[in-house]
Structure 1
Amino acid sequence: MADECVVKGPDLKELDEEGLWELINDHRHRISLGVRPCMLIPYLRQARVLSELDEDEILSCHNLTNRSMRTSYMLDLLRTQGRNGGVALLESLMIHYPSLYTQVTGQKASTEPSKFSGLIKYSELTEYLVRAVTGMQKELQEARNEAGRMGMRCTSLQADISQMMEQEEKSRCFRSDNERMRRQLAVAHREVTKLKDEKCDLYVRYTAAIEEKSAVNIRCRDLTLQVYQLQTELQKAQAETDYQKRRSLKCASPAETQQLREELSALRRQIMVVEKFSPAHEDILAQDLAEARDGRMELAEQLRSYRDENERLLREKEELLDQKEHLALQVQQLTLDCDLHKEKSTVIQSQLRELQAERDQAYESRDEAQAQISRSLADKDALRTQLVQVQERVFSLQGARARVGIKDLHDKQNFLLQRVETAENDSPLDDDFVFLNDICEAKPPRDTQSSSTDRSSAPPFLMRTRPKAVRLSGRVLSISLQGKDLLGQLSVIGGNKTGVFVHEVVEGSAAHTLGIGPGAQIVEVKYENNQQTLSMVLQDSTLEEALWALGQVTGLCHLSLRSNQDAYESVLQQVRSGAISSGDSFYMRVNMAIPGGPGGTLGMSCNDILHVTNTRPAGTKSTWQASHVHPSQLVDLQGGTLPNYYRAQQLLIRAIENMSFQTSKSNKGGGVTTKEKQKAIRIVSTGRQSRNPLWLSIEDSKAKNARGCVTLMPYTLVTPHFPPVCRPILVLPTVLGRVLDQKLATWQGFQLCEPELLSSSEHAVRLQRSEVLEDSEQAGGGHLSHTLQSVEKVMKKGIHCVLPMGLDCVRRLHRADIFPIIIFMAQSARSARRLRSKLHRHGQNEERLLSCSNSEESLLDKLPCLCRTVQPDYWCDSATLLNSLHTVIWEEQQKIVWVEPDLW
């Protein structure tokens, strides 16, 4: 019955080399999965179609990771032996895999000598079969031993499973603890919110206290005025007191003195007479004497009261003198304040004059821009008129389609009128801006490769024609001071993530005199240097950038400060606790390979993504502190130090010089530079003329139009993007991508992007909206275009969209926030030969594939994102190629997409 079921196949002796190998290739997948190379190699060695070197390469090559890959590689080696290799393969299958031999050839397997081709003699064949049987018995014994070992392994795995279950129970406990801690964290968060509310209440009370303080100051000024009035009255009273004092101490005149002397003589005479008087006279005189004594005592008492009043007035005079000195000091202080206010008002007036001049210049620029827009609109109207006339002429020549042509012309004219009206209505809104598309169209292409790259996705800060407008939130205070040795007056902390804050101020310095204290955030610094006006916004600058800008100040400068004590204390607390080392935090892509070294130097490869956390670490100079980033999560890995931008730029230039020297030396010696050395660096340049292309906040009044040089960049800034579950797929080189796109579209979860047939008018509209990714003009009119809507339609289904396009579509997709998986299949002469049959089916050849691979590989470094390169030795046939492609797609889907801005 088995013989009857066998389908009679072609006679192997009648088949030529191509027919024999075509028969084998038709069953290549089945042979690769069902054959073990170690069983066939002894027979093939006996038939002299494989050498010992071939056997070692098949069984020991690290790139052949599984049995199927080794079998497929063995078939490739046998293909180079021609017909003998195919016959030997079939004979070995007939001996070791008779059922597979029957499936391949359609003939029943037999060990008769007549069935063999004569590559091996009958005696040698018998000897070989005996050795093969012995070898199979040994393999059987080894298999039984392996089964015993696997049983023991199974027992150990069961024990491991029990341990894992215990660990699972522990993890469940940990999860419950985690939930409890989460609840506690929520409670703490509510408490923090309550504290923040209390803090807001305190701020309100603080504001009320400030208002009360201002009212008290007003009351104090009123009291000062009253004191001045009282002092005036006191001076009047003091003058009157002095007059009374001088009057009381005034001496008598000489006439009065003589009269008093005569009265005194008369009194003496009377006393002498009285002594001779009678007792009655004595009583009278005694009474007179008592009255005189009483009058004298009254006079003495009055004199004592005058003396007391005089002492009181002297004390009041001393108090008034003290008050006078105090008032004189206050007058001096008020005079100084008045002078300071006068100087400040002078500076403000000068700034107002500069602002008015800048405003007038801006108005002039706006008028010029409006005039230029009007001229461009007039030119566009003239061109549109010519376009309408040409279209009328074309439509008149198409008699069969006259009616349809007239309708399309009418629609086209209405559309142009709408666009003209829209442009005229919107032109006043665009006076202060420059359209990026117009700029990119005005630039001539540098070469054929770069001309196909779309530059319209450049960020606004790289294409602006006037200083960047920065919105400064909160109350900002502008202070003018002599900033010579400004970093000697104050020190700063922070960075681009937290802001730059004043940390310490030297007492007695100009900054300290003006009231600058710790916690003030430096928003902007303006100064002049070598007759150049420099302005730098420090709100988003790194610490290195801020220290460089403050260190350039040599004279009068203007600091814009904002009180932000909470943010400063938060940064200071995090730095002291070790949570952060500074306020810097940004991500960048490395464009050169730098080996690691002692002292914590971080080893880097080209295209690595690093997270920079400190641009001025303590104890080091010209270095940054950074760490590698996890490819799938925004988590820092190994950290260390690396050269800062300027040192890395010097290393990059030195590496390019060394490579140029080695290349010229190898060319003289007849050698070839390896591809690994060529990929050690990535040439990235920019036309920006700032001191550091990573610094985006410097405005130089004389360097705005200097764009003549090219700057090599060792690092480029990147931003992370987290695309949806299914990203589009772009396979390169394009020649191979067209071959594999149809195969990928048949997989589950993949769909090919279908083009749309657009009319000329619709194509113009979609092209203006940047919705056309790639198109080809049709002979019968219209455009067959791949549009952005076609890609989004497939992505909404939750599947991968296969893009049958070239590299030009990448930047257009990025502008729509669509980030495709870019896979470049690197090619060699040997890998191209493996794809010969598939290329011929699609009208391509090996030379065209290699040429396309070399040309597109040079453009990969110009992409704003990373791409995955698959080396030629990673696969050996079409089956392994597709398997590796599926693995790469799954790995790339899990990664973060890092995109860098366009620097031109």
Structure 2
Amino acid sequence: MKTQELDQKPDQADEMVRRGLPFLQLRAAPELLKISQFGASGFAERCNLLRFALQRDAGAADAHAVSCVSFVSLPRRARRLCALVPMETTEGSNGDPARDEDEALWENVESNRYILSRYINPNKLTPYLRQCKVIDEQDEDEVLHSYMLQSRVNRAGRLLDILHTKGQRGYVVFLESLEFYYPDLYKLVTGKEPTRRFSTIVVEEGHEGLTQFLMNEVIKLQQQAKAKDVQRVDILGKHRTLEDEHRKLRLANQELLAFQERYNKMKEERNHINDELSKVKDDNYNLAMRLAQLSEEKNMAVMRSRDLQLEIDQLKHNLNKVEEECKMERKQSLKLKNDIENRPRKEQIIELERENEVLKMKVQELQSIIQPGKQGLPDSEKAIVDILEHDRMEALEDRQDLVNKLYNLREEVRQTEELRDK
């Protein structure tokens, strides 16, 4: 009665299984629950393998609980099949020579499981395995279309697990499929060179089955050859397109090279012009410095011209003064000339000479009288006399200097006028 209720409520049954398996460490239980998704064909072998895993995890003491749990959690049809399969314990499996031999055969496969799962494509192997009746339709559907097997590596691993449950026959057919589709993997697993034998097909289907299989393979190869031809045509079209693009790119590259050469020439011209510009800037700077220097010299020349103009005015004033003196000297010269012209006669001269001699005698007498007096003059008066004499000499020297300076100023004025005219 309880079993019928669980059949009507599979979700509740699964919940009871989860609650009733605290000792399984939730490792074998997910595999047990997934059995409900499998088909009935080939189900008994999976049940044996799953029970063996559960007994291994739970222990021999809980074998009855495992049997009950696996039985309760399965659908009705699966339970019927499961009831037909004898329950195996760990002790029985360990003592079975056939199972030990199968495990020894599969040891080579399991030791290379990573490489096999990585390189095997289940889509290639499943048709051959189905033809040899090692797997059924539901096994193939599970391996190829299960939502829980998303990647090709997972599907290949699941296929190996299913073949593992088939025992020696699964091992032999799997090696033959490797020999046919993956010779390198066959050599890796067995250590032998592939011989391309199809004994299983001959045994199961006869020579006609082998012929049909080979014909199917030939058809597949022809289809693949057609696909390769189409692919080759596409590749040739792409090749032509790429050649056209390559030609265009080569032309574009030549244009770019021409532009590059033109750019390099323009760059060289620009560098040359920049050098000339730098030289022109330096020349302009030097000219500006020279102009500033000339402007400063001009200002100094203007200042000097002003000073010379003042000196010229001063010299003109001195010249006027000297001219007035010259006029006075000329007047005196004229007066002297007149005096010479109006000099007295010879008798008057003789008389004047006599008077002069008399006067000289008187002067000598006076000098003889004054000489002792001069020696008796005080030093202060002597100093005054020396100073007056020195002033007279200096005045004569200053006058000579003024005459020389006037001459020099006239020369400078002449040179200044020449510069001004230039």
TM-score range, shorter chain: 0.3 to 0.5
How does the TM-score come out when normalised to structure 2?
0.33
Higher-Rg structure is: 2
TM-score under structure 1 length normalisation: 0.17
